[in-house]
Amino acid sequence: MIGFRRFSMVGNSQSGLHAEIEPDTTVGDRRKRPDFRIRRYDNPWLYVEVARPDTADAQKALESKRQLFSSVLSILRRFALQIYLRREPSDDEIKQVVARAMDLCARDQEMTEEMGTLGVLLLNQAQPGNFVPINPLAKPVSPILGGGVGHSWGR
């Protein structure tokens, strides 16, 4: 965890609710570091380990949407295309983004293409072959799902 190792979740001075992030503790003769522990007033600590959520369904849905972008990979020229989405697109919206991306990738210059409320496409804003995540949407940074493909044609 960055920064604070200890915090207090106190809505007011009467709640007595306290938590610690990644506290060091001993269980038997072994040192442990759970994700956090929490207690109210002087009650015993409750130790919490956060498990990985089941992402199988979300991954399948994401993979099917990602497949819709595959036609961009058929372009055999040097370019760097970054697509940032503000929200989850419908299949029809993905088709619109792909069509616009195909048109942009035929150009050599740097370009920024706004896609209304859906997102933004950046062409050649980074050197082809390099991926530098940026925040073109002017909002708090959120997780980025990225992918890259390289083609080599020899010299």
Hey, what amino acid is at 97?
V
Report H helices in 69-139: 91-104
Alpha carbons 136 and 131: distance in angstroms, whole number: 14
Least confident range from 11-15, 41-45, 138-142: namely 11-15
148: confidence class by pLDDT, cuts 50, 70, 90: low
Neighbours of 109 (CB within 10 A): 7
34 or 74, higher pLDDT: 34
Number of separate helices (H) and strands (E) present in the chain: 2, 9
3: confidence class by pLDDT, cuts 50, 70, 90: very low
**Paired residues of 31 in beta bridges:** 26
Q: Which residues contact 15 (CB under 8 A, 6 or more apart)?
A: 9, 40
Percent of the chain surpassing pLDDT 90: 3
